[in-house]
Chain A
């Protein structure tokens, strides 16, 4: 891997649980509990997991939309720029760092201001950062419209005139206005129809190849993730339980939770109707995680040790990280 653009070390985000008249803190929701990850120039790391696993909280902390409880977020400002710790930065200093990291949101309907023209929406980051003249900003907006394959006519139109897929292109153009080198995309295609989703997935891949962008891709759809990612990290109750290069993770998962996730994806082929691995119960409550491995109450392979000892995230070779006591002895089923 190239030198990482983003290097997150031991990121933790706890939310206090308050009760009673005095709002005393009676507990902590460990939404993110010691997450480390790296993303290099030109590559996509996907963070996957089910609702409440902490993947979105990780992205919010990286963008400093919320302050982390602890941990370091090393981020390189521009291609040859200095590396800063975003976690330690004061609020006032964040603008300089934020120029280089941008976000694409899930919902193209609520994330665009309906009272602004598409041209103004895309130019807004330039304006806020005091970049260029009105004429140069207009040129840049036209260039961005070309880049995301929207007609130049879109400039003076309002978002409501566009379909979901086109609005998502507007969101992408706005995210790219400042030439960021890290793009955090939180479920960018999950609100779109299949036929439109395919167009946006292809566009994101193409933009990455052309511009050398680093993507942190947050998603729950393992099929989309397979198309988008170089590496995948699977989260469960605030922790990364497995991380590996994409093909390896799908073909030879080493964590039982990953195996269950892959098995649960319905495949678009009636001839592949297989016996699915149906997990018992539900995702653990991050306010009251089970002792030992958080997955053990649902794990078909759990043994006594899993109920008592928290497993560490260990490298089982070639960058395949697994947090499971039994990783070495189990042979799990992937999809290939």
Chain B
């Protein structure tokens, strides 16, 4: 997505995921494309129902029933001279995908309590991943687990390794999750709202940890969050999603300082800030995210969009327009603005020539 010399570690191409339910079809993803590069952090941001978590789960073939991949590719890099492996073509329960989960792609969820087993000590759970993916003996896995727990900043890991998840605080549990996700030495880490359930000082600790691990291990980190602050702090590249589509993507600085999609612009303006004047009003976006069964025609944002072009945005879906920074934007109004700017530039150039 953004111009980088490296091959993407994971490349999602035109992914379509639908949930077929009695009440109707939820078009959770309508052609999503994303690239995650080694050593970079791709931040995926959006409000509820935008499809950011569905994307994360589908990328690991953990899409929940009745969700189904209808089309598209999930390309996992296999090295320079080998064609990438398309995970979308694998059976969700196959041995192949199970080996990739953990070994190539690690996953950290929002709520560690639901992802950790209550029956095993945390040392055992981290050790199990080491045995499975790295073939360590029981004793070596025990030592390896303690080393990993130390690496993710758990104090007195020798003692903590024998404790169970319920004995740990939310922050420590999330550290255990990170240790487990990294035990198979994956090169891709997907973190889905990893700090949403945590207090702000604990969140700062976990973000700091993720940043350090990413740097040390040159991970391709995919960070999914609703929090623009977390994105600004962590991401190299950003994808903004709305109702199952990436509406805009690009380098983090450009997304925050020169957003091209009206939704990105309005989302940024509506964020409360610690720098604001007390009692100052916030900019708002009218209406709310539509119910997934009542997806608007045309561009899904048009009913809430101040720049919507009547007869255009409500009838057709805009295609992605590539931007010079390697990003892109899907918006008719942004296309029109770009054309106007190009014409103006052409006129000035012509004027100068004459």
Residues of A at the B interface (CB closer than 8 Å) are 50-51, 163-166, 193-199, 201-202, 205, 220-224, 226-230, 246-247, 250, 260-273, 276, 278-279, 281-283, 335-336
Can you list 12 residue pairs at the A/B interface with Cβ under 8 Å?
A: A50-B201, A166-B288, A194-B267, A196-B288, A224-B272, A226-B272, A226-B273, A227-B281, A229-B278, A266-B227, A266-B232, A276-B204
Asked if A163 contacts B289 (CB within 8 A), the reply is yes
Asked if B288 contacts A195 (CB within 8 A), the reply is yes
Asked if A268 contacts B256 (CB within 8 A), the reply is yes
Q: What is the chain A residue whose CB lies nearest that of B155? A: A281
Q: Tell me if B113 is interfacial: C-beta within 8 Å of chain A.
A: no
Distance of A221 Cα from B276 Cα, bound (Å) = 13
Asked if A227 contacts B276 (CB within 8 A), the reply is yes
Asked if A261 contacts B256 (CB within 8 A), the reply is no
A233, chain B: closest CB distance, angstroms: 14
Chain B window 231-256, contacts with chain A (Cβ cutoff 8 Å), 1 for yes, 0 for no: 11101000000000000000011001
Asked if B204 contacts A278 (CB within 8 A), the reply is yes
- Known A-B contacts A264-B204, A268-B273; the reply to A198 vs B278 at CB < 8 A is no
- Known A-B contacts A193-B48, A222-B274; the reply to A268 vs B268 at CB < 8 A is yes
Distance of A163 Cα from B291 Cα, bound (Å) = 8
> A267 contacts which of B171, B205, B273, B279 (Cβ < 8 Å)?
B273
Q: How many residue-residue contacts, CB under 8 A, span A and B?
A: 149
Q: Tell me if B283 is interfacial: C-beta within 8 Å of chain A.
A: yes
Interface size on B, residues (CB 8 A): 50
Residues in A with CB closer than 8 Å to B274 are 222-223, 226, 250, 262, 265, 267, 335
Residues in A with CB closer than 8 Å to B281 are 201-202, 205, 227
- Known A-B contacts A197-B272, A223-B273; the reply to A269 vs B205 at CB < 8 A is no
Asked if A265 contacts B47 (CB within 8 A), the reply is no
A150, chain B: closest CB distance, angstroms: 12
Main SS of chain B's interface residues?
loop
Q: What is the chain A residue whose CB lies nearest that of B288? A: A163
Distance of A196 Cα from B200 Cα, bound (Å) = 22
B105, chain A: closest CB distance, angstroms: 25
Residues of B at the A interface (CB closer than 8 Å) are 47-48, 155, 169, 171-172, 199-205, 207-208, 226-233, 235, 252-253, 256-257, 266-268, 270-285, 288-289, 291
Beyond the given A223-B273, A227-B272, please list 18 additional residue pairs across the A-B interface where CB-CB is below 8 A.
Answer: A194-B271, A195-B47, A195-B270, A195-B285, A198-B283, A201-B272, A205-B281, A229-B278, A229-B279, A246-B278, A263-B204, A266-B227, A268-B256, A270-B232, A271-B253, A278-B208, A282-B171, A335-B274
B110, chain A: closest CB distance, angstroms: 14
Q: What is the chain B residue whose CB lies nearest that of A228? A: B279
Residues in B with CB closer than 8 Å to A265 are 200, 229, 274
Main SS of chain A's interface residues?
helix
Asked if A193 contacts B207 (CB within 8 A), the reply is no
Q: What is the chain B residue whose CB lies nearest that of A161? A: B291
Residues in B with CB closer than 8 Å to A250 are 274
Residues in A with CB closer than 8 Å to B252 are 270
Asked if B266 contacts A278 (CB within 8 A), the reply is no
Residues in A with CB closer than 8 Å to B267 are 194-195
Asked if A267 contacts B232 (CB within 8 A), the reply is yes
Asked if B228 contacts A268 (CB within 8 A), the reply is yes
Asked if B253 contacts A226 (CB within 8 A), the reply is no
Residue from A198, A265, A273 whose CB has the most chain B CB atoms within 10 Å: A198
A165, chain B: closest CB distance, angstroms: 5
Asked if A269 contacts B232 (CB within 8 A), the reply is yes
B294, chain A: closest CB distance, angstroms: 11
Asked if A194 contacts B228 (CB within 8 A), the reply is yes
Residues in B with CB closer than 8 Å to A201 are 272, 281-282
Q: What is the chain B residue whose CB lies nearest that of A285? A: B169
Residues in B with CB closer than 8 Å to A273 are 232-233
